[in-house]
Structure 1
């Protein structure tokens, strides 16, 4: 018995829903690129002329933190490990105020087009180039993975070659991002958010109708242990617990919001600081809404397969096949629903790809290329260069997608390692610069390098042990009590084979403690290690006393400045008030 999606029929309604999403996304790019306005300045192309609105920006930031892979994987995670990931919403209680009061005031006041310019102003060009270069490498690999995941699902369901689907989607993203700039990215995200919300809502409603209502789904989740989310065990080697998810994801999401250029750039596109702050608040609400819908769909999957597990019976073979299989099974009598679901997955993927492409153009141009031009380019020429950079990165994405087909397993591991190495140290560097005035360039540069070595020495062995099934995590209970006799017989054979091989493959001893730490904590470890090493090295090289501009220090740390520099900023409230007043006056002028 093998994984088979062909038993479900794909109607022409499904193809129309998917094609419509692609067509509208491209049309938005045409509208803003050719009819609405031309981008003749870097500021307009990268920041939308600082005339964007709060809600579209908030929707775009929320959507850019999800990929099609996340929308596929989160419901499956609920079915396999339980709904502990629902606690991700709780981390927003800490992330939103930290972003508004600690990081956003500095970025907004400096009016940067590339977030990493801060590292050069605060420390030196070496630190900026180090972090920017690593970000570019990680982003190109991430782009390929984001494009490949949804394309693989669509290819499995329809039979269309995965490379063809990936190239079409990447090509459309490159097209509307290159010709339209940030404004096109934002308004395309708004449309795509509607598609995603519509697809998740329709699947949720169908689940309620077919599974006997919300109470039935909820009670089955309780009986199946899927709602045992308040595990207060402090053991950091568990896959997830209350503390692991809340604390770990707080740092991970904070890194994505406060130090990742794709999010910061969108905040800076708003005309006032107050608007930027509200966009972060609305982002938290939209982010929690998407997560909640994914959790409910995961509970619906459990309600349907609670007595006949599709993994044991070999109806599906991989975790990422579970959600599409569930949707196809339920949407058979609802033409167009599966197409809307696929459109939602690709909307999430395209939003993230477009955000990366737009941000990469700014990072590459401002941090690397601009210094090599002998004369200043005209504004129109600069915009043309940015468009060419977007196109080039899109081509690189397409090429990497082609390679994933042959080295899929290895590149997934590589992506996880690069992500773990990037998020934590980057957050640590920005925190070090904004909160600790005494930190210097040597502490930042060598602290980041030392942290990357430490993180690499933790993540590589951890991934190795996972790939060899030496490091595993317990799953929730699965049942085959409701399967047919034929399926039960097959399942018994599977169980027998597993039981005969399990004892011989179990390791005689556990891996070292650091290799067993939950992946949720990798970002936290990276951030704190960077700050610690940065402060120690800065203290050891305290003769390097380059004056620090107070605008580079977060308002919450102005009291750490020498009295002569701090006298104008006596408390956090006055600092934020002055910043907001300046932002409003600039907008009026």
Structure 2
């Protein structure tokens, strides 16, 4: 059913909110400008006074980074404006279902540290897609790199659109003015500063963001009447409901969120260039695991703070929903009004919070710009360049790629803003590309039985299937045949006059009886579907195309957890073929390079900590 008026919600007297007076004041603008300006100064420092003229310095920080800055940078990259603005709004309307994803984040540490990272770290990769060329072939690597580039073009506009919309709501400045300015600042410091600028800017930005989150939450709890009042109001409003119903069509069911987000978080971290690149910049595997553990725990804390802000926002607005009364035009704008109102008692807090929100967006954007530049150069541009090209020229090309990727992401905002709710859109879109990517990497590290044909066509056909699937679902949503109904909302305690026609607002739920079951699945499952489709197609094709002449995969390209499945005789056969008996020339070249790089590393850095 649609929005509801309910007299049993919001029984606590609510403070009066004058939306007409909510706006930024001069010191809000000043603090906002100072924070973004300081971020640029960090980029200038590393770009001009700590010059990074080599590919290794620009992309991996010279492999001299330390555990805590990398961990905080990873948390900052993961804690985007979606977490800070879209998640509280989602909690306000649908409850704390997303909070169940903290279980998935906890599991993420194990999938990253014990399945994928040991393989990538030992191979000394710049791009994780180099692994696919070694495990399968160059064609599969190019396919995966293309999928990754597409995923960024789809995701980065969402990252920058959300804070731009929030800032526009609070200040009246247009979204299409704010977004290009923010993108320009991020492109600037990422371009000239490289990975070190990204990491240290992320550290500064995340510290500010968490501080603002805690301050806003404390003030909001005070406005709501305290933690227990907030909790009881959320309980009355069904925002704390948890459903263990195994029905996969339920939007926020426990199993949909935990299983779906486990696949999603694994895909966007364990095999994602942005995350892996930072972990590879650490000097040892032990440091990488420590950083990964700190990262996952920090993400849980950040998401919990965001969930509590959403519950507190509901407690404040429980008896007078501004979305129903048309005080807020879009649900995504609700958090902006809430933050500015709560922060009005502390001069400058609103400006700092939105600066923190932009910092979260910029840290995500900068991290992805840096790593997409590395991927595009390694997997595409370098193949067209003279092998004798200087390191300084390589660094300049990488900077140009950062600019191009940033501009493309900014332009895509004009498309993203028309596609609906942000949390659902973000998770759904990722399923198109990162689901197949997780599938092809999983087949690579977990089994020898999948060959290059299976990997390539599995990823390609899975992406095509997910694109068709996503488009069909969006069509049904646009036609009104599919819709997730929000939790009850009320206007019973409003102390201002508003125009509200209850009969025109409350509508019967859309009819979806004629829609195929698959299209009704919770959007949390989309990444899992893409992964499983890729693995199923890839395994079937490999089964029918495998021959005795196919090269045997060496254990070094497999996850250590599956080494017990393959006996020593198979490994002897692999070593014999590595001496020149490979039928796959590309694999032979990649393995030869691996042995050479491993020897150089042992001579310069000592034994690997694996």
TM-score (norm 2): 0.88
What's 1:571 paired with?
none
What's 2:479 paired with?
468
> Is the Cα–Cα contact under 8 Å of residues 120 and 128 in structure 2 kept in the other structure?
yes
Is it true that 1:224 corresponds to 2:228 in the alignment?
Answer: no
Partners of 2:551 and 2:201 lie apart in 1 by 44
What's 1:381 paired with?
393
Partners of 2:533 and 2:173 lie apart in 1 by 46
Q: CA deviation at 1:409?
A: 3.4
Partners of 1:239 and 1:410 lie apart in 2 by 16
> Is the Cα–Cα contact under 8 Å of residues 307 and 483 in structure 1 kept in the other structure?
yes
> Is the Cα–Cα contact under 8 Å of residues 244 and 520 in structure 1 kept in the other structure?
yes
Task: Describe the shift of the 1:309–1:390 C-alpha distance in structure 2 as closer, same or farther (beyond 3 A).
Answer: same
Is it true that 1:54 corresponds to 2:67 in the alignment?
Answer: yes
Which of 529, 549, 555 is the aligned partner of 2:554? 549
Is it true that 1:199 corresponds to 2:212 in the alignment?
Answer: yes
Is it true that 1:310 corresponds to 2:314 in the alignment?
Answer: no
Task: Describe the shift of the 1:508–1:81 C-alpha distance in structure 2 as closer, same or farther (beyond 3 A).
Answer: closer
Q: CA deviation at 1:138?
A: 2.6
Q: CA deviation at 1:567?
A: 8.1
For residues 365-444 of structure 1, the aligned pairs below 5 Å read 365-401=377-413, 403-404=414-415, 408-409=418-419, 418-444=429-455
The alignment partner of 1:332 has SS state of helix
Q: CA deviation at 1:317?
A: 2.1
What's 1:256 paired with?
268
Is it true that 1:561 corresponds to 2:566 in the alignment?
Answer: yes
Which of 512, 518, 530 is the aligned partner of 2:534? 530
Which segment is superposed worse, 137-146 or 253-262? 137-146
Task: Describe the shift of the 1:85–1:410 C-alpha distance in structure 2 as closer, same or farther (beyond 3 A).
Answer: closer
> Is the Cα–Cα contact under 8 Å of residues 97 and 257 in structure 2 kept in the other structure?
yes
Q: CA deviation at 1:391?
A: 1.7
Structure 1 runs (4+) deviating above 4 angstroms are 3-6, 410-418, 565-568, 582-586
> Is the Cα–Cα contact under 8 Å of residues 427 and 523 in structure 2 kept in the other structure?
no
For residues 6-85 of structure 1, the aligned pairs below 5 Å read 6-35=20-49, 37-85=50-98
> Is the Cα–Cα contact under 8 Å of residues 5 and 156 in structure 1 kept in the other structure?
no
1:188-224 deviation digits (Å, cap 9, x = unpaired): 0001101110111111110122222111111111121
TM-score (norm 1): 0.91
What's 2:524 paired with?
520
Is it true that 1:291 corresponds to 2:295 in the alignment?
Answer: no
What's 2:4 paired with?
none
The alignment partner of 1:482 has SS state of coil
> Is the Cα–Cα contact under 8 Å of residues 181 and 358 in structure 1 kept in the other structure?
yes
Task: Describe the shift of the 1:74–1:441 C-alpha distance in structure 2 as closer, same or farther (beyond 3 A).
Answer: same
Partners of 2:18 and 2:80 lie apart in 1 by 25
Structure 1 gap ranges (5+): 569-579
Q: CA deviation at 1:12?
A: 1.6
Task: Describe the shift of the 1:567–1:310 C-alpha distance in structure 2 as closer, same or farther (beyond 3 A).
Answer: farther
The alignment partner of 1:409 has SS state of coil
Partners of 1:485 and 1:33 lie apart in 2 by 54
Which of 334, 342, 348 is the aligned partner of 1:322? 334
RMSD of the alignment, in Å?
2.5
1:480-500 deviation digits (Å, cap 9, x = unpaired): 12113633xx33x1x21124x
> Is the Cα–Cα contact under 8 Å of residues 428 and 524 in structure 2 kept in the other structure?
no
For residues 131-280 of structure 1, the aligned pairs below 5 Å read 131-229=144-242, 231-280=243-292
1:232-276 deviation digits (Å, cap 9, x = unpaired): 100001101111111110110011111110011011010000000
Which segment is superposed worse, 557-566 or 185-194? 557-566
Partners of 2:496 and 2:46 lie apart in 1 by 59
Which segment is superposed worse, 232-241 or 6-15? 6-15
The alignment partner of 1:331 has SS state of helix
What's 2:10 paired with?
none
Task: Describe the shift of the 1:274–1:388 C-alpha distance in structure 2 as closer, same or farther (beyond 3 A).
Answer: same
What's 2:513 paired with?
509
Task: Describe the shift of the 1:583–1:474 C-alpha distance in structure 2 as closer, same or farther (beyond 3 A).
Answer: farther
Partners of 1:526 and 1:6 lie apart in 2 by 46
What's 1:450 paired with?
461
> Is the Cα–Cα contact under 8 Å of residues 436 and 462 in structure 2 kept in the other structure?
yes
Q: CA deviation at 1:456?
A: 2.5
Structure 2 gap ranges (5+): 1-16, 574-597
1:44-75 deviation digits (Å, cap 9, x = unpaired): 11000111111111111122123213311111
Partners of 1:121 and 1:534 lie apart in 2 by 17
Partners of 2:398 and 2:34 lie apart in 1 by 28
> Is the Cα–Cα contact under 8 Å of residues 209 and 357 in structure 2 kept in the other structure?
yes
Partners of 1:29 and 1:416 lie apart in 2 by 31
